[in-house]
Amino acid sequence: SIKAIESSNKEDDTTWLTYWVVYGVFSIAEAFSDLFLYWFPFYYAGKCLFLVWCMAPVTWNGSQVLYQNFIRPYFLKHHQAVDNVLGNLGTKA
């Protein structure tokens, strides 16, 4: 992420930081569901294909699709509550 932020091409920043946000959400969801999902045949192959789709260098890659359709609307709906919680934590610290 630091390399993307420090690069001179800002389009690269958006692409890779979006990927890392989607990957983070996926990792959190997988931590809770992996116990059940690994029993499905080809789970790891599907996971690999999903992650390749998320980082594919095309305009319709998974990171952009998932971020624009699911993560961003959820964040915009709840960002005030998150800011309030982080503000309260900052004052308590």
Give 26-73 pLDDT, tens digit per residue.
999 999 998 888 888 999 999 999 999 999 988 889 999 998 899 889
Closest to 17 in 3D by CA, of 31, 79, 33, 25: 25
SS3 80: helix
Q: Which two tokens stand for residue 47?
A: 């996971």
Find the mean pLDDT for residues 15-35: 90
pTM surpassing 0.85? no
Given CA atoms 90, 77, 5, 62 in this order, what sign does their dihedral have? positive
pLDDT of residue 1: 56
